Each structure stands twice: as structure tokens, then as C-alpha cells.
A and B are shown apart, each in its own frame.
Chain A
Amino acid sequence: MTTMPGRPHTIVTGVIGADTHIVGNRILSMALEKAGFKVVALGALTPAPEFVKAAVETAADAILVSSLYGQGELDCRGFRELCIEAGLEKILLYVGGNLIVGKHPWPDVEKIFLDMGFDRAAAPGTRAETVIDWLNRDFAAREQGLQRAEK
């Protein structure tokens, strides 16, 4: 997953599973584009394998998965394994939204998704600027041979 000089980082976005909440994902995609990323927006109702196929074909550097209807844990299970299967072992994976139904402390929720192999999980209310900042720092860390930045 080497990035040619001058080529913008390519990011696949979409809403996973049987989830139709597209608005937040669309706002994020627009903000990413404005920040200079190349965005491949898959939209709502996207099955996990479609994220991976799109990432293979476009040689994406990151996949940003949105889930807003509380079924994120079920939908995202095995996502990293799918990427490994497709030869994208190292691809940067973020997940964000209302990931789990009911009241759970965020650190518990975050741990579930980090354990699944996501590099970062964004709590409800996370701003697009924060995500862009994570991406910039993580891509910079990659130049140093790291999987992601410290925090």
C-alpha cells in the first residue's frame, strides 16, 4: 500500500449493513474531499464485502465504516479478517456512529471495536475535523513504518 508522491490518499466510506442513515456519512465524505482526500463513497446499505472490494480496486489507504442503528457490532464482526483475506492486511480501518444499542460506557464500546481490528473508533458526536486529524497523523505515522499514530 505505497502512496505515490502527489497522489492523494484514497478513502472508502459507507454505511454498513441494513442501515439507511446516510446524512452523517455524506457530511463526513464531503469534509474528507474538501480536506484533499480522494473519497470513494459507497452510501447506505453497504454489505461488508463491498467495502473491501472497492478498496482493492481503488487501492484505498483507509476504510471508514459508519453504523448508526445499533447493529454495528454484528455487522463489523470479521471486517479485518475480510481485509486480510483480500490482501489488505495493513489498511487503516475506522468505525464510527451509534455502534451499540443501549447505554454502555464509551471505553467499553471502543475496546470491542479495537479488539476487532479497527484502528480507531469514533464516539457519537465526533466531528469531521477530528477524523481528518486522525487520518493525517496516521498517514504520517505510516511514513515512519508504524501502523498508526500514538493517540
Chain B
Amino acid sequence: MSAALLIDFGSTYTKLRAVDLDRRALIGTAQGPSTVQTDVNVGMRAALDALRAKVGALPVFRYRLASSSAAGGLRMVTVGLVKELTAEAARRAALGAGAKLVGSFAYRLTSADLESIQRLAPDILLLAGGTDGGNTEVVVHNAAALAASSLACPIVYAGNRGAVDDVRRYLAGKPLSVCENVMPEFNVLNIEPARAAIREIFIQRIVHAKGIDRAANEFDAVLMPTPAAVMEGARLLADGHGGIAGLGELVVVDPGGATTDVHSVATGAPASPAVVQRGLPEPRVKRTVEGDLGMRHNATTIAEVATVEAIARDAGVSGDEASAWVARLAGDVEHLPANATEKAMDDALARAAVRIAMRRHCGTTQVVHTVHGPVTAQEGKDLTNVRALVGTGGVFAHGDDPRALLAAGLARAEEPDSLRPRAPRLLVDRHYVLYACGLLAQAEPAAALEFARAHLADVTQEEAHERTAHA
């Protein structure tokens, strides 16, 4: 048997997925604690022991590939010029590389900005600004300011090509890599080179800096941050490989304890040629992270955005009960629902997080009144016609009603301006295989694709059954 071991060094758990490459089947799953802060080997060995306890003696793995979101994830700061232009392009590049954005800055860095950057102590800083041939003054000023700071992390320069020599001169004392501009022309997005540079630094330096390479005997390579692995899994699942068809354009939603991530693999172009696209062009593979929509660490902000009344109504409880539940989570993030009422409130909170995160990720339309009559303008991606919506992460793996949770992310008649999916297939990643698929895709894409397709549960039909049942 030819087999692969896919490892996720997470912030809470060290997770393992063992895959039979010939049969495209899951041999077993297991997890141990995350022990990056002390010795990563402890959690890794516990996870391997747990796997052995489930499946018996382990095969010799042909590949042992890992991703990591441990030790705070890949913490990044981005710097650009205009907030909506190169600063936004830099943010998208960092998010697309699977980073956790801890700070974003625009225009000239002030001394207060520099202080907060030094305090944030990112793993990598991405410096952009100016189109090629455009503004050089601000990005050179920012390079000089960073050079004079105590910041010691690697810096990726992805700004105006015309400023490269000056930037190199100023940043000679810092670890610097230079790549193509994130916005070479006005409103042209070019984030792949910056993503590749970030990924390279992650492999070369960050894995070591976080102490993950202490477990180097147990794996062949740590390839990328875990969110990037999920994104690679989504990309493969959508596009297919060789003769094996993918699912077509899709969206993945991943509600976690601290954030809710949404990935889309779709052009998102306006559905009608009469609709005018506004704003920065959208990357086909796009990741957004909602830092205020975490099921545990940010339950309070979910309730603020969604309103406690709405969550109470959805859960079928009183407003006071919902308030008390949210307050309890804020005080004790480890708390798990202990009875049916708490479970209902927790589910309602998750549905609110999915609904809001999807609303923010998907584009919107707005009718502009001109002298020639109304014109529809679109901002962001039109995801109304994507073929599949995939739910991944703990809430989907353990929840009772993953279909209802996914459905919370769909289009709603009362919000016609929000371009969320209308009637996609609803798929649930019950075994948390999407990250494993993204890692395996780097070595055996065909096996990774067929494995993932076989292990996502299609819950679209459950909706029909329920409708019949309720009718």
C-alpha cells in the first residue's frame, strides 16, 4: 500500500490524516495537543500514538507533509500607499499566502505606526506602494523608516519597480526579498509573486523560527501555513486535475474559534454585461478572514454585529438567555454547550458567523441613477452562480445540522444586493480533509482530488427531505 501522512500543526491540536493513495481512502484520523511552545515532538508523538491506537501498525508513508498555524500562525504586517489600492493589494497578497494579518498600514509610516509595527513583531512584513513608474517617494520613505527601526523580521518588497535600488540600499541591513509589484499598473492586481515569496520565507525561515522543525524526523516538509493548505485544497477541488473533473467554481467557509475564513475559487465577474464592475479587480482565488467572527474568542462581537435579538430568535430562546450565553463564552472560551438550549444558542451563533462572513466575502450591487436611467454597479465578486458551497472546520465536523449552518451562507430574498450563492451543492468536510487535500495536491494531485471528492458529504438533498418533512 502506498500511503501519505498529512499533518496540521495547529494552534490547539496537532492533527493527522493518513491516506491510502491507491484506494483514495482515509486510513485514519487522530490528534494530539499542540506543543509548539515547549517541544513540538510531544504533541506529534501523542497524535501518532492515537493514530496507532485506532488503526494498528502504521504503514511506511511515501509522503509526510505538514502545514502549520501554530504559535500564532504566520503573523504579517502589510504596508502600502493608497489604502484602497496598493495597501489593499498587499493585504490580499498576505491573506492569499495564508497569513494572519496583524496590522495593515497605508501612506507614510509615522513614528507611531513604526512603534506599533515593532510592538506587533510580525513574522514577515510586506512592503508595497506605487505602481511601476508611479510614486516612489512614499515607499522609499517607508523603507528608510523601517531600516531605522528595530524590526528584525524578513521584509518582502513588492512595490514600485522604480524604487527597488533605493529600497535595497536602505534595507541592506535587514533580511530582504524583492519580487514583482503587487500592482504594476493602476488597478491591475499581481499578487502571485508576493505570495510565492512569502511562502518561500515561511518554508526557509519561519518553520525553524517557530520551532516546528524540531519534529523534522517525523515529516518530510512543512509546505505552507494551514490556511494556504485549505486554499490549495479548494483550488484543486474546483479546477480538477488532468482528466479528473473538479466541482467547478466554489466557496469554502471555515468558522473557527478566533476567526471565520472564507475562500472562493471563482472569477466573480458580473453575470450580465450591463453591470459595471467597480473597484479593485478580484483575485480568482480569494481568501478573506473575519477577525471579529470567532465562535469562541469573539462570540461577543458576533452578537454585536448580528444582534442578540436575532440570535435569540434563531435559537428559539429569550434575549436574556442569549445574552447570558454570549457573556459566558466571553469569560470562558473553552466552554462547550452542556444542554440542548446551549447547543441551540451555539448553533445560532455559528449560523450568524457564517452568514456575516459570507456577506462580507461576496460582492454587492448598487443601483446608480444616471440621466440615462438606472445602472447597476457591482463591487467585489458575484458568487451567485457558484456550483458548490463547502463547510469545513470543527463546527461542521461536530455539529448536528451542518446543512442549516451552510444554508446560512446562501443568498436571501430580503438582501438582493448581496451576491451570495443561490443554489450551490452543499458539501460538508466532516473529516477535515480539505487541508490534507491541499498538502497532498503538492505531491499527488490526482489522488488528492479523488480523495477529497470521496470524503466530502453532500447534504444538498437533506434540504429537500426536510422541506418535505416540514411541508
Contact = CB atoms under 8 A, between A and B. Distances in A.
A105 B278 CA distance: 36
Nearest to B374: A18
A79 to B, nearest CB: 17
A103 interface: no
B81 A69 contact: no
B136 to A, nearest CB: 7
A29 interface: no
A111 interface: no
Interface string B116-160: 000000000000001101111100000000000000000000000
A18 to B, nearest CB: 5
B280 to A, nearest CB: 11
Interface string A47-76: 000000110111110000000011000000
Nearest to A2: B137
Q: Please tell me the size bucket of the interface on B.
A: 20 to 34
Given A18-B369, A20-B372, A57 B276 contact: no
Given A18-B368, A69-B371, A53 B133 contact: no
A127 interface: no
Contacts of A45: 276, 278, 368, 370, 375, 377
B14 interface: no
B368 A57 contact: no
B88 to A, nearest CB: 11
A38 B187 CA distance: 14
Nearest to B137: A59
Interface residues of A, number: 19
A58 B187 CA distance: 10
Contacts of A20: 370, 372, 375
A59 B372 contact: no
B85 interface: yes
B366 to A, nearest CB: 11
Contacts of B320: none
Interface in B67-118: 81-82, 84-86
A69 B375 CA distance: 15
A83 interface: no
Interface string B202-225: 000000000000000000000000
A100 to B, nearest CB: 14
B375 A53 contact: no
9 tightest CB-CB pairs across the interface, nearest first? A58-B134, A59-B135, A40-B186, A59-B134, A18-B370, A57-B85, A53-B82, A69-B371, A57-B82
Interface of B: 81-82, 84-86, 130-131, 133-137, 162, 183, 186-187, 276, 278, 368-372, 375, 377
Interface of A: 4, 7, 10, 18-20, 38, 40, 44-45, 53-54, 56-60, 69-70
Given A45-B368, A57-B135, A69-B371, 16 more contacts: A10-B134, A18-B368, A18-B369, A19-B371, A20-B375, A44-B276, A45-B370, A54-B186, A57-B81, A57-B82, A57-B131, A57-B183, A57-B186, A58-B133, A58-B134, A58-B135
